[in-house]
Amino acid sequence: MSTLDQHVICHGVTERYTSTTETGFCIEEILTKGYSVIPGSLDAATIARVSECSDKAYAKQCELLGGEANLKKINDANIARAPSADFDVFIDVAMDPRVHAVANALLGKNYILYSQNAIINVPSTDHYQFSWHRDLNYQHWTSSRCLALSALLCVDPFDEITGGTYVLPATHKVEKFPSDRYVIENQLCVHARPGDWILFDSMLFHRTGRNASAAVRRAVNHIIVPPFMAQQYDFMNMLGDKLKTAEERVFFGQGRQTASSAIEWRQIRINRL
Interface with ligand AKG (CB under 6 A): 117, 119, 121, 129, 135, 152, 165, 206-208, 219, 221
Distance of CA 236 to the CA centre of its chain: 19
On the CB side of 198, CA atoms within 13 Å amount to 29
How far apart are alpha carbons 55 and 137 in whole angstroms? Answer: 26
Shortest distance in whole angstroms from residue 82 CB to ligand AKG: 13
- 107 or 167, CB closer to ligand AKG? 167
Shortest distance in whole angstroms from residue 152 CB to ligand AKG: 6
Please name every residue paired with 97 in a beta bridge, in sequence order, or none if there are none.
none
Who's near 119: CB < 8 A, 6+ residues apart? 78, 79, 127, 129, 208, 218, 219, 220, 221
Instruction: Find out whether 89 and 206 touch, Cβ atoms under 8 Å.
Output: no
- 232 or 254, CB closer to ligand AKG? 232
- 166 or 250, CB closer to ligand AKG? 166
Instruction: Find out whether 174 and 142 touch, Cβ atoms under 8 Å.
Output: yes
- 50 or 152, CB closer to ligand AKG? 152
Shortest distance in whole angstroms from residue 223 CB to ligand AKG: 8
Shortest distance in whole angstroms from residue 193 CB to ligand AKG: 14
- 131 or 186, CB closer to ligand AKG? 131
Shortest distance in whole angstroms from residue 127 CB to ligand AKG: 8
How far apart are alpha carbons 90 and 50 in whole angstroms? Answer: 7
For 239, phi and psi rounded to 5 degrees? -140, 25
